[in-house]
Amino acid sequence: KHMPPLSTVKYSLKILEGHYPERLFKAYICNPPFVFRVFWAVTKPLLDPVTKEKIVFCHGDAGVALVGERYDLDWVEKCAGGVDGKYCKPFDH
């Protein structure tokens, strides 16, 4: 209902892949809502295989372990599996 048209998604991906090639090391998506997983299922076939390999979904304890392999969990926000976010400062908007 609130998803953009597929043509918009394709065009956006084309811009990102064309203007920012190989800029991303990994993207960790922690505990995404169901609607995002649906969007990912639609978008994934449109992505370059190299880009697809850079997207990592993290769920529950196994997801926290994945993030913890690369990052010190003291520096990760609690909502993304961090220990307590003691080094994370609240965003003041």
Question: Tell me, what's the pLDDT at 85?
Answer: 62
pTM of the model: 0.67
Listing DSSP states for 23-57 in one string gives --S-EEEES--HHHHHHHHHHGGGS-HHHHHTEEE
Question: Tell me, what's the pLDDT at 10?
Answer: 82
Residue % of the chain over a pLDDT of 70: 86
Reply yes or no on whether the pLDDT at 88 is more than 80.
Answer: no
- The DSSP letter of residue 79 is G
Contact present, 86 and 58 (Cβ < 8 Å): no
62, two tokens:
């196994």
Reply yes or no on whether the pLDDT at 47 is more than 70.
Answer: yes
Separation of alpha carbons 85 and 17, rounded Å = 32
Query: Strand 27-30 to strand 55-58: parallel, antiparallel, or no bridges (unpaired)?
Result: parallel
